[in-house]
Chains A and B, each alone.
Chain A
C-alpha cells in the first residue's frame, strides 16, 4: 500500500506565461504593501489589488464565461494562487468568494443567485465571508442555533455568527442556519446567501491578539431575506457546508502563509551566512519543496475527479505545522541585532503572534488527525 501516491500536476496551456502574468501584476502593486500585509496574505485585504486581478481575468478563473469567469482549468487556478501567496500579495478581499462561495453557488445555487453574485465576484468587486461558526458552535459545528423562520414575505433570520473573517470588507455572507426549528444537530440546516447591508444586520469588530481587525461578530435581528436566497436544498445545508470545507483543505494557502519570511530570511543574512542559519534555510527549503509536491498532487487528484479527503487533511496538518514552526525556528536561529530595522524583523514580530490562527481555520490538528485516523480505520 502506498500512503500518498503522487499524481502528475500537468496544467494545460503556457504555465510559464501565466506565472509571469501574475508576477507582473504583483510588481505593479507591491510598493504599496507593508511587511505585515505581505504575511498571511490570504487574510490581508487590498480591494484595489483584488479589482486589478479581476480586471486581468484572474478571479473566477474556472467559472463559466456566462458568469464572468474564464472557463480555465482548476490547475491553472492553482498556479495563480501559489504565485500570489509566494509573493505575499494581499488577497483577503476576494479569497473566500473565489475559493468557496462562488464554486458553491455554481454547484448548488439557483440561476438568480449565480447571476446576482458571480460576475461581481469575478470582477473583484463583490466579496463574501463564511457564516459557519457561532458562539457555541466552533469545532462542533452541528450545534448551530441561528434560525431562519419561514414567513409569507421571506425568511426571517435571528441569531449570531462569530469569528467571521473580513465580514466588514464583504457585501455578502453564505451562512449555515437552522430552517427547521424542531431539528437538532446536522438535520434541518440550510444555507442562505445574505446581503450584509440588509436591515437588522450588525457587524462588530473583534480585535485579535496581533492588534488587527479581521474577526467580527455578525448579529441578525429579524433580518428579512428573500426566499430565493436559499442555496441548494432546504435541510441539506450540512452536506453542502461539508462540501464547502473540502474546497479549502489542501490548497497552497495551507503551507505558504508565511513564505515571505523565508524570502526575507535568505536576503537578510547575506552571502556568507553563519552555519546554523544555512542549515535552517536548507531544512525549510526541503519542507517547502515536499509540501508543494503534496499540495500539487492533491490538486491534481481533485481536478481528476477523485475525492482525496485523507490526502487533503494530511496536507493541511503538515502544512499548518510547517508554517507555524517557521517563525519560531527563525527566531531561535537568527541574531536579532542583525535584523534591526529590516523587513524581516517586522514580519517576524507579526507572524510569531499571528501564527496560532493558522491551525484554527479549516480544522485544528486534533480534528484533522481524527479524520486521518478514521481513514485508517481506527475510528
Chain B
C-alpha cells in the first residue's frame, strides 16, 4: 500500500469510527470538512490526486463503520463534473439512479442525472422530492427535476456502474464488520457450558462466512486495481465492476443468514449493532444492479466474445502494463 493511501486510511478510520453512530446532520459537516470531495480530483487542480484504489479503500472503511452519509456520491460527483467541464457547486451532490432515486436526496444541494449520453446538474430546491427510505432506514428519495438544469454536458459515464463500485467497497467493509461482530459473539457467548465457537458446526459456519468475506474483498480490490489500469469499457461499465458487484451480491446472500443464525435473538434487536451492517448489506444488494441486472450484462458481454474468447479477454485485461496494486 502506498504511503499516501495509508495516511488516507488512517484519517478515514479515525473520523469514521467517531461517526459510526452519528446521524447524517451531524456527520456530514465533518466529512465535508475532511475534503473527501477532492479525492479523485488531480493534484494540479487542487485535489488529493487519488486513484480508484484509494476510493475503494476509503469507501470500504465507510462501510466498515456503517457511515450515515452517501460518501460514494460525494467522491464521484466532483470528478464527473470536472470531466464534463462543470464547476461543482457547494454542498452535497447526489448521483441519481435510472429511476430517479437518490440516496440522501433531500440533503443534497444538487443532483446529477445522466440520460442518453447527457449529464444534467439539477437543483434539489427546484425539484419535486418524494421522500422514502431504503430497507436499512437510510433516506432514499425520488427527485423529479422541476426547472431547467443548472448545467449540462455530454457524458459517457455510467452512473449505475459508479454506484456499484461504491457499494462493492462499502459491502466489503460492512461484511467485514458483521464478520468480526459474529466472531466476537461466538467466542464469548456460552451455551451448553462452552463458547459457541467451540462447536464444530459453528466453526464450519464461521469458515464459510470468512470465505465469502474474502471473496467480496478480493473481488473489490481487484476491481479497483483493474480500473487503475484503465480497463474501462466504452460505456463506462467496466467488466470488473459488473463481476465484482455480482460476486458481492452472491456473498451477501450467503453471509446474511449465517450472521443472524449464529447471533440468535440477540442479533435481531434494533439496539444491537449487527442490523446496522446487515440491513445495509441487504439494501445494497438490491441497489445499483441486483444479481439479474449484472448477470444479464455480463452474460451478454461474454456471449458476444464466444466461448474461446473469454479467456484471452480476462488474461489480456489483467496482463495490461503496470502493477496491479
Interface residue A263 (Cβ < 8 Å from any Cβ of B): yes
Residues of B within 8 A of A19 (CB): 315, 319
- The smallest C-beta distance from B57 to any residue of chain A, in angstroms, reads 10
- The smallest C-beta distance from B93 to any residue of chain A, in angstroms, reads 30
Q: For the complex, would chain B's binding face be called helix, strand, loop or mixed by DSSP majority? A: helix
Q: Which of A97-105, A139-147, A156-164, A287-295 contacts the other chain?
A: A287-295
Interface residue B213 (Cβ < 8 Å from any Cβ of A): yes
B206-224, CB < 8 A from A: 206-208, 210-211, 213-215, 217-219, 221-222
| Given A3-B217, A7-B325, A373 contacting B299 (CB threshold 8 A) | no
A267:B308 contact, CB within 8 angstroms:
yes
B323:A8 contact, CB within 8 angstroms:
yes
B247:A290 contact, CB within 8 angstroms:
yes
Which of B214, B246, B250 is within 8 Å of A294, CB to CB?
A: B214
- The smallest C-beta distance from B36 to any residue of chain A, in angstroms, reads 20
A328-371, CB < 8 A from B: 366, 368-370
| Given A289-B314, A369-B204, A373-B206, A8 contacting B325 (CB threshold 8 A) | yes
Which of B176, B225, B303 is within 8 Å of A278, CB to CB?
A: B303
Q: Which of A46-54, A116-124, A226-234, A268-276 contacts the other chain?
A: A268-276
- Rounded to whole angstroms, the CA-CA distance of A379 and B247 in the bound complex is 29
Which of B211, B296, B304 is within 8 Å of A318, CB to CB?
A: B211
Interface residue A31 (Cβ < 8 Å from any Cβ of B): no
In this complex, the interface size class of chain B, counting residues with CB under 8 Å from chain A, is 35 or more
- The smallest C-beta distance from B205 to any residue of chain A, in angstroms, reads 9
Interface residue A314 (Cβ < 8 Å from any Cβ of B): yes
B214:A314 contact, CB within 8 angstroms:
yes
- Rounded to whole angstroms, the CA-CA distance of A10 and B296 in the bound complex is 32
A373:B203 contact, CB within 8 angstroms:
yes
Residues of B within 8 A of A278 (CB): 295-296, 299-300, 303
Residues of B within 8 A of A370 (CB): 200, 203-204, 207
Which of B198, B292, B307 is within 8 Å of A267, CB to CB?
A: B307
Interface residue B268 (Cβ < 8 Å from any Cβ of A): no
- The smallest C-beta distance from A304 to any residue of chain B, in angstroms, reads 12
Residues of B within 8 A of A377 (CB): 187
Interface residue A56 (Cβ < 8 Å from any Cβ of B): no
B323:A10 contact, CB within 8 angstroms:
yes
Interface residue A93 (Cβ < 8 Å from any Cβ of B): no
Residues of B within 8 A of A87 (CB): 311
- In the complex, how many residue pairs between chain A and chain B have their CB atoms under 8 Å apart? 184
- Rounded to whole angstroms, the CA-CA distance of A2 and B61 in the bound complex is 11
A279:B292 contact, CB within 8 angstroms:
yes
Interface residue A148 (Cβ < 8 Å from any Cβ of B): no
Which of B183, B186, B246, B316 is within 8 Å of A283, CB to CB?
A: B246
User: Which of A2, A86, A378 counts the most B-chain CB atoms under 10 A from its CB?
Assistant: A378
B314:A281 contact, CB within 8 angstroms:
no
Residues of A within 8 A of B316 (CB): 16
Residues of B within 8 A of A267 (CB): 306-308
Interface residue B84 (Cβ < 8 Å from any Cβ of A): no
Residues of A within 8 A of B225 (CB): 6, 8
B163-216, CB < 8 A from A: 176, 179-180, 183, 186-187, 197-198, 200, 202-204, 206-208, 210-211, 213-215
Residues of A within 8 A of B273 (CB): none
| Given A6-B324, A16-B319, A290 contacting B218 (CB threshold 8 A) | yes
Interface residue B297 (Cβ < 8 Å from any Cβ of A): yes
- The smallest C-beta distance from A79 to any residue of chain B, in angstroms, reads 8
Interface residue B256 (Cβ < 8 Å from any Cβ of A): no
Residue of B nearest to A281 (CB): B299
- Rounded to whole angstroms, the CA-CA distance of A288 and B211 in the bound complex is 15
User: Which of A1, A15, A281, A368 counts the most B-chain CB atoms under 10 A from its CB?
Assistant: A281
- The smallest C-beta distance from A328 to any residue of chain B, in angstroms, reads 16
Residues of B within 8 A of A80 (CB): none
Interface residue B310 (Cβ < 8 Å from any Cβ of A): yes
Residues of A within 8 A of B222 (CB): 6, 289-290, 293, 297
Residues of A within 8 A of B311 (CB): 86-87, 259, 263
B211:A285 contact, CB within 8 angstroms:
no
B176:A264 contact, CB within 8 angstroms:
no
Interface residue A305 (Cβ < 8 Å from any Cβ of B): no
A285:B214 contact, CB within 8 angstroms:
no
User: Which of A264, A267, A289 counts the most B-chain CB atoms under 10 A from its CB?
Assistant: A289
B298:A285 contact, CB within 8 angstroms:
yes
- The smallest C-beta distance from B178 to any residue of chain A, in angstroms, reads 12
User: Which of A4, A7, A16, A379 counts the most B-chain CB atoms under 10 A from its CB?
Assistant: A4
Residues of A within 8 A of B214 (CB): 3-4, 294, 311, 314, 318
- Rounded to whole angstroms, the CA-CA distance of A1 and B219 in the bound complex is 16
Residue of B nearest to A275 (CB): B296
- The smallest C-beta distance from B130 to any residue of chain A, in angstroms, reads 32
Residues of B within 8 A of A297 (CB): 218, 222
Interface residue B19 (Cβ < 8 Å from any Cβ of A): no
Interface residue A42 (Cβ < 8 Å from any Cβ of B): no
User: Which of A269, A283, A287, A318 counts the most B-chain CB atoms under 10 A from its CB?
Assistant: A283
Interface residue B80 (Cβ < 8 Å from any Cβ of A): no
- Rounded to whole angstroms, the CA-CA distance of A243 and B231 in the bound complex is 38
Knowing that A293-B219, A373-B207 are A-B contacts, what are 6 other residue pairs whose CB atoms are under 8 Å apart, sorted by A's residue number?
Answer: A7-B325, A283-B295, A286-B219, A290-B219, A294-B215, A372-B207
A residues contacting B by CB (< 8 A) are 1-10, 15-16, 19, 82, 86-87, 259, 262-269, 271, 273, 275, 277-283, 285-290, 292-294, 296-297, 311, 314, 317-318, 366, 368-370, 372-373, 376-379
Q: Could you write out 18 A-B pairs with CB less than 8 Å apart? A: A2-B176, A3-B210, A4-B214, A266-B306, A267-B306, A268-B307, A273-B303, A279-B299, A280-B299, A282-B294, A282-B298, A283-B295, A283-B298, A286-B295, A290-B215, A317-B211, A318-B215, A373-B203
B residues contacting A by CB (< 8 A) are 176, 179-180, 183, 186-187, 197-198, 200, 202-204, 206-208, 210-211, 213-215, 217-219, 221-222, 225, 239-240, 242-244, 246-247, 250, 291-292, 294-300, 302-308, 310-311, 314-316, 318-319, 323-325
